[in-house]
Structure 1
């Protein structure tokens, strides 16, 4: 067993209002410069919808993530070394600018300098931020915002296509009446990152001390294999430098004990940050389970209980500072993922073992309860609706549990029980023990879960140990080396994954 620490995030989707503040502040911090006009390390999508870039969840098309071969071995969907080497100069499995969107600006001088007395009101004409030429706006990173443009294409949402035919038909047939929720997305900083394995030059690496996946700009040669391999399409190419860039999890802030900028500025306070301890030796086995629906449980099994004396002993032997162990014990992420088991990973079937998890939204179910003439404050009515309702439960299952609707329904029932329990406590002081029994939790646990989800303070939502000053030099040295710190036996796809020996440099040398 090899104990590692991972900085992870959980987002409570019921609290996301789709304001895009996280996207804007991330843009201003990390990608407000030439070459990254189309790049959004953080974006907020409306679901149902095809997302950004278009249909990024369709891995039959984009070849992202991992799959099991005929012998049950974990292999990249984009192919092995020989296949990647054969396509190193012309990779066909890449989104185009049309799949992302052509960023636009506006000629404001038309308004500012318009002469008086015009018969027609002057209007701003959109121009390409890349070429300066006039363009027609037909797509954008949030084109489907609040279902605004979703009627054009959202019927081809890969999650809807994967649903049972009857449920999918209902979504498309009554699209104007369907449910809606917002899904913020960043890089998943996976335990088993496909992008790291696919990088021919070894520029992509996963940091040992906190699990953050980064790109060494000095080593990157712009082969773009990482863009294909990432199933979430959260690796981008800077068209000015020709190099790959991605979400950094705001590592300078994390090292200083501060939350990511998207978390800091989140209006809905829906993000939680914390340390998760996991067994590195268990990663390969967890990612290789045969049944996609078992991936959730398999990934949870790789996490180690920070309160367990054996885990504390392993942490001490691994040289993990006491401050990190204490942070792991206080981690809201650990509690939401493993204690309460209400947080779920995004598309576990990609087998990357993502470390940005989500509490699925209960609000679409409550809307359906009201539409069915039931009482959305009555736990029995809500429970029955969850069991009966195939939309959006099946849709949420396609997103978070590889199609396992029962797993999603179990989470939604916990959230509904918590809601009813706290309502009764607030209104008349009664303790609805039967609700706790129905979901296998105690009243104390339900109240603690409610506090964390609803009214947790800043220091409860973000539990991040500051890097010791004595470690600063070693952290910088590790970043400069740009070698994957998990290189070696047991790290699936993390060592020697490129088509050439790292010591020889990339094929073709400098570009």
Structure 2
């Protein structure tokens, strides 16, 4: 057993109000420089939709993530030598129009225009070329179903049957999906980087890009299936979310989590078994979610603690893992799911799927058609198509809601319904309710301070190892 520690995050989608406070905070802190105008390390997408950049989930187009090839994991973007052979030509990545061309307005024309019979205007100007332009897209162009027919109807997770729903107003559904770098356990970006500039820190699992080593090959952009690495057109370097490591090293939450109005974000430590990682990542898609969860270890297990100490994990990190809200969501209660596990990067940002708006009938009849958001759609996003795994999570969420409502109304029938749906007893249901609804600041963020001086002994480096999964090396 090779125990590693990882800082992780859970986002409770039922509480997200789509206000973009997280995105704006991150933007103001990290990407307010020249060359980063179009970068949104954290963004909030309205679903259904094509996302940001457009159609980032279409790996047939972008060839990001991993696939099982000849019985072992391989990059979809190609082998090490395949990447090197076309290092000066990389067509499998988004272009500027897949994001949006950053723009400003010619405000000076409003104040400096000479006297005229006509009202002066402020034309849109490209932040890149400085030329006049027509604005055709933006980072939140399709918010709140604003672009349903242009964006939502083109969501690759929708079935043809679902697309018909956009003509029936009473059946239209939407939810918000905040996204940031997943700081994956098996990052495809690190494997694809020819210069080895992207690496995963051993002490906390944060994936970073060494700006001194970066040579702007941009294979990290195409290899990341979530498209959470961006190219700075001014500096000629790739940049990405850094999990606000200057804050997390001091035991503080990231800017996006700290500023979240809906308090949907939880940050904590997970312990996982590195020895099992490759085996689990090669599991069939229908069992992938449970296989990935099997890698996550119980931090209160004495054997796990012993191996964690042997691996050099500090006692306060082990203690933080025991109190981790992320562990409670993902493993203890099974309420949080990974985003597109079929990409096989093992993302370390998890989501509690959206339960509302709930059709009233869903509380008494657990069938797919009684959920406003189709189970099949949620399964496509969070469980590689495994509808049973999504239904199990939704039943638990319904059980919590039913039990607590019954307790408030002194309705034993509702309380029993909650116990039946969730499979938990009353004490477990109340604990889950406190976790999902009432947790305070210190309960949502259990982040131990990082000791960088102890990290080098098990640092996971970049391209040299990640590419050779057939030999189970990094």
TM-score bin (small chain): over 0.9
Q: CA deviation at 1:123?
A: 4.5
Counterparts in 2 of 1:176 and 1:424: CA distance versus 1, 3 Å: closer
Q: Map 1:467-486; keep pairs closer than 5 Å.
A: 467=450, 471-473=451-453, 483-484=461-462
Q: CA deviation at 1:168?
A: 3.0
> Residue 78 of structure 2 aligns with which residue?
79
Q: Map 1:287-302; keep pairs closer than 5 Å.
A: 287-289=281-283, 291-302=284-295
Correspondence 1:318 to 2:318: no
Q: Is the 8 A contact 2:12 2:352 kept in 1?
A: yes
Counterparts in 2 of 1:389 and 1:267: CA distance versus 1, 3 Å: closer
State the SS of the aligned residue for 1:150.
Answer: coil
Query: How many positions carry a matched residue from both structures?
Result: 473
Q: Map 1:342-353; keep pairs closer than 5 Å.
A: 342-353=335-346
2:396 corresponds to which of 414, 434, 446: 414
Moved more, 447-456 or 49-58: 447-456
What per-residue deviation string (whole Å, max 9, x for no partner) do you get for residues 440-497 of structure 1? 1111111111111111100000000012xxx34455x799x9944995999679967x
> What is the rounded CA distance, in whole Å, between the counterparts of 2:423 and 2:8 in structure 1?
26
> Residue 98 of structure 1 aligns with which residue?
97
Correspondence 1:203 to 2:197: yes
Moved over 3 A (4+): 109-120, 171-177, 383-391, 471-475, 481-496
Q: CA deviation at 1:433?
A: 3.2
Correspondence 1:129 to 2:107: no
Q: CA deviation at 1:233?
A: 0.4
What per-residue deviation string (whole Å, max 9, x for no partner) do you get for residues 161-201 of structure 1? xx3x4x33433443785101110000011111111111111
Counterparts in 2 of 1:12 and 1:61: CA distance versus 1, 3 Å: same
Counterparts in 2 of 1:309 and 1:387: CA distance versus 1, 3 Å: farther
- TM-score between both structures, scaled by the size of structure 1: 0.87
Q: Is the 8 A contact 1:151 1:175 kept in 2?
A: no
> Residue 401 of structure 1 aligns with which residue?
383
Q: Map 1:75-474; keep pairs closer than 5 Å.
A: 75-112=74-111, 123-160=121-158, 163=159, 165=160, 167-174=161-168, 177-289=171-283, 291-364=284-357, 366=358, 369-370=359-360, 374=361, 379-380=363-364, 383-386=365-368, 388-389=370-371, 391-428=373-410, 430=412, 432-467=415-450, 471-473=451-453
Q: Is the 8 A contact 2:100 2:137 kept in 1?
A: yes
Q: CA deviation at 1:386?
A: 4.2
Q: Is the 8 A contact 1:207 1:485 kept in 2?
A: no
* Unpaired runs of at least 5, structure 2: none
> Residue 504 of structure 1 aligns with which residue?
none
Q: CA deviation at 1:331?
A: 0.2
Q: Is the 8 A contact 1:293 1:402 kept in 2?
A: yes
State the SS of the aligned residue for 2:149.
Answer: helix
Counterparts in 2 of 1:226 and 1:44: CA distance versus 1, 3 Å: same
> What is the rounded CA distance, in whole Å, between the counterparts of 1:63 and 1:388 in structure 2?
35
Counterparts in 2 of 1:490 and 1:210: CA distance versus 1, 3 Å: farther
> What is the rounded CA distance, in whole Å, between the counterparts of 1:317 and 1:83 in structure 2?
39
Pairwise CA RMSD: 2.5
> What is the rounded CA distance, in whole Å, between the counterparts of 2:356 and 2:114 in structure 1?
50
